Amino acid sequence: MNKFKQGDIVWANFSPSVGQEMKGKHPTATISLPTWTYSDIIFMVV
């Protein structure tokens, strides 16, 4: 499993989606707090 740091640019797959939500792979910037990046579940991107 990759360990991402705050500010890293990563590709995220937003599929499946519903309605007009973003679909497919898109570059994202991580904004997770450093303590969150050690979790297997919580990961925040923009």
Q: Which domain holds residue 12?
A: 1-25
Whether residue 37 is contained in a domain is answered as no
Strands (E), the chain: 9-13, 25-29
C-alpha–C-alpha distance, residues 40 and 38, integer Å: 7
Side-chain half-sphere exposure of 39, counting CA atoms within 13 A: 9
Number of domains in the chain: 1
Whether residue 15 is contained in a domain is answered as yes
Query: pLDDT (tens digit, 0 to 9) for every residue of the chain, 46 residues total?
Result: 567 777 888 888 888 888 888 889 999 888 766 666 555 556 666 6
Q: Which residues contact 27 (CB under 8 A, 6 or more apart)?
A: 9, 10, 11, 12
Q: What pLDDT is recorded for position 34?
A: 63
Identify whether the C-beta of residue 10 lies closer than 8 Å to the C-beta of residue 30: yes
